[in-house]
Amino acid sequence: MQTPTNHFKKALAEKRTQYGLWVSLISPLSTEICAAAGFDWLLLDGEHTPSDPMSLLQQSQVVAGYPGLHAVARVPMGHGYVGQALIKQYLDVGIQTILVPMVDTPEQARELVRCMRYPPDGIRGMAATRASGWGRNASYAKEANREVCLLVQVETREGMRNLDAIAAVDGVDGVFIGPSDLSAAFGHVGDPWHPEMQDLIADAFRRIQLAGKAVGILTLDETLARKHVEMGATFIALGTDTNLMVKATTALAGKFKGAAPAPTSTKSQNY
């Protein structure tokens, strides 16, 4: 057996924009519908869903059946003993790329790098797990550090103050800007695209790019998404499975029952 090459990480390093979709419906069936759509990556969300490592495993197995598609998983938290344990479990089921929310300091970022890697570069525990083919891949422990990809999410005032230092941490492959929590932190609850926030996000893009790291973001608005790509977004989610379902089901019911039209606002999004 061979350790799989992380083509998503390679694309980020080569500054090739990767287009993705946020997946919050944790069913393998709904994941498969999204997997067949043609995206470069799917975000399997464990922060704002009742997901667990078993459902994540099932979803990632679905994604693996679609060549060219990459699974990125977001842990509920990344700090402390619980965060360390969750990162280890996510990696052990075979996920290579992990997104960690609420990263506020370079110290936290460095600790996350250590959680992602085996010794001597880190503290990830050794075991014969699914990621290593249950031990059949004898080279996995020596090669895994090269293929794992760490994305950190900056979405607070403290995180923005420390953005340059966070982005400079060796082992952080990309920084994701979380507009919803960030806008709430700056007094614009429910309005992630307030003019002040757009200026702040543009500045964050520049700072992350100066550090030589990939920039990530999510928006449900096509015009904004294209703008973010022009600004240099390297990994961008173009929507969420839940929002797509909300709009489509509400619109269909409205055609026959006169229900309110599907919400189309991009003002309130959970990511």
Q: Is 264 within the bounds of a domain? A: no
Q: Is 266 within the bounds of a domain? A: no
Q: Find the CATH number of the domain harbouring 56.
A: 3.20.20.60
**Are residues 91 and 63 in contact, defined by beta-carbon separation less than 8 angstroms?**
no
pLDDT (tens digit, 9 = 90+) per residue, 169-213?
Answer: 999 999 999 899 999 999 999 999 999 999 999 999 999 999 999
CA angle 48, 199, 41 (to 5 degrees): 40
pLDDT (tens digit, 9 = 90+) per residue, 63-120?
Answer: 999 999 999 999 999 888 888 999 999 999 999 999 999 999 999 999 999 999 999 9
Q: Which helix (H) or strand (E) holds 76?
A: none
Quickly state the pLDDT bin for 268 (edges 50, 70, 90).
very low
Per-residue pLDDT at 235: 98
Q: Is 182 within the bounds of a domain? A: yes
Quickly state the pLDDT bin for 261 (edges 50, 70, 90).
low
Q: Is 226 within the bounds of a domain? A: yes
Query: Mean pLDDT over residues 215-237, rounded?
Result: 97
Q: Is 114 within the bounds of a domain? A: yes
Per-residue pLDDT at 265: 54
* Distance from C-alpha of 46 to C-alpha of 24, rounded to nearest angstrom: 8
Whole-angstrom CA distances from 257 to 251, 261, 267 are: 10, 11, 26
Query: Mean pLDDT over residues 165-172, rounded?
Result: 98
Q: Is 230 within the bounds of a domain? A: yes
* Distance from C-alpha of 240 to C-alpha of 20, rounded to nearest angstrom: 9
Kindly state the percentage of the chain with pLDDT values over 70: 95
Residues near 142 by beta carbon (within 8 Å), at least 6 away in sequence: none
- The pTM (predicted TM-score) of the whole model is 0.94
Q: Is 179 within the bounds of a domain? A: yes
Per-residue pLDDT at 107: 98
- The domain total for the chain is 1
Residues with a catalytic annotation lie at 48
Q: Is 262 within the bounds of a domain? A: no
Rounded to 5 degrees, φ, ψ at 262 are -60, 140
Which structural domain range is residue 185 located in?
7-241
**Are residues 130 and 57 in contact, defined by beta-carbon separation less than 8 angstroms?**
yes
